[in-house]
Amino acid sequence: MTETPRAWRSVLPHLGYELPADVTPQRTGGPMIATLPLELIRQSVATREFWPIPEPVAERYRSYRPAPLWRARRFEAEIGATVPIYVKYEGGNISGSHKFNTALAQAHYYHRAGFRELVTGTGAGQWGSALAAACAAFGIACTVFMVGGSLRDKPYRGSLMRLYNAELHASPSRLTHVGRVAAERSGQGNSLALAIGEAVEYARADPKRAFCIGSGETYSILHQSVIGLEAIDQLAALDASVEAVIGCVGAGSNFGGLALPFFAADSAGERDVPTELIAVESSTTPKLTRGVYAFDHTDSTGTGPMEAMYTIGSGYAIPASHSAGLRFHGAAKLISAMRYRDQISALAVGQREALTAGRTFALTELVVPAPESGHALAAAARVATGREPGHPARRGLLVCISGHGLLDLAAYDKLLAGLPEDRAADSDALRAATASLRAVHPMGGA
pLDDT value at residue 28: 45
Do the beta carbons of residue 316 and residue 290 sit within 8 Å?
no
* pLDDT score at 325: 73
User: How do residues 21-52 score in pLDDT, each as one tens digit?
Assistant: 988 765 444 444 568 999 999 999 999 999 99
First CA to last CA across the chain, in angstroms?
48
* More confidently predicted of 339 and 442: 339
When computed from its CA atoms, the radius of gyration of the chain, rounded to whole angstroms, is 20
**Model pLDDT, residue 301:** 67
Three-state SS for 56? helix
Question: Poorest-confidence range of 92-106, 297-311, 334-348, 356-370?
Answer: 297-311
Given pLDDT bands bounded at 50, 70 and 90, which one contains residue 216?
A: confident
Identify any residues that bridge with 404 across adjacent strands, giving them in sequence order. Answer: 369
* Amino acid 30: pLDDT: 46
Q: Which percentage of the chain shows pLDDT scores above 90?
A: 77
Please give the torsion angle defined by the CA atoms of residues 205, 206, 209 and 212, in that order, rounded to the nearest 10 degrees. Answer: 20
Query: Under CATH, what is the fold of the domain 65-96+219-436?
Result: Rossmann fold (3.40.50)
Using 50, 70 and 90 to split pLDDT, how confident is the model at 303?
low
Q: What is the pLDDT of residue 390?
A: 85
Residue 186 buriedness (CB in 10 A; 0-12 / 13-18 / 19+) = exposed
φ/ψ region of 96 (left if φ > 0, alpha if ψ in -120 to 50, else beta) reads: left
Burial of 419 (0-12, 13-18, 19+ CB in 10 A): middle
Instruction: Please write the tens of the pLDDT for every residue from 149-172.
Output: 889 888 999 999 999 999 999 999
Instruction: Say which amino acid occupies 100.
Output: F
Q: Kindly report the average pLDDT of the chain as a whole number.
A: 91
> Is the model's pLDDT at 298 over the cut of 90?
no
Check whether 189 has a pLDDT greater than 80. no
The pLDDT assigned to 278 comes to: 97
Pick the more confident residue, 320 or 55.
55
pLDDT at 323 (0 to 100): 67
Please give the model's pTM, rounded to 2 decimal places.
Answer: 0.94
pLDDT at 422: 77
Check: CB of residue 110 under 8 Å from CB of residue 142.
Answer: no
Give 105's DSSP letter: H
**What's the mean pLDDT in 181-193?**
71
What digits encode the pLDDT tens for the residues 240-271? 999 999 999 999 999 999 999 999 999 999 99
Least confident window among 75-89, 104-118, 129-143, 270-284? 270-284
User: In this model, does residue 107 exceed pLDDT 60?
Assistant: yes
What are the angstrom distances between the C-alpha of 232 and each of 12, 66, 131, 200, 266? 19, 12, 27, 37, 11
Q: List Cβ neighbours of 413 (8 Å cut-off, separation of 6 or more).
A: none
pLDDT at 362: 98
pLDDT the model gives residue 442: 58
Pairing of strands 276-282, 167-171: unpaired
In the CATH scheme, what is the code of domain 100-214?
3.40.50.1100
Q: Where are the alpha helices (DSSP H) in 341-406?
A: 351-365, 371-384
Mean pLDDT of 355-364: 97
168-196 average pLDDT score = 83
Structure confidence at residue 389 as a pLDDT band (50, 70, 90): confident
Judged against a pLDDT cut of 80, whether residue 20 lies above it is answered with: yes
pLDDT band of 445, cuts 50, 70, 90: very low
pLDDT of residue 190: 62
- Range(s) of the chain covered by CATH 3.40.50.1100: 65-96+219-436, 100-214
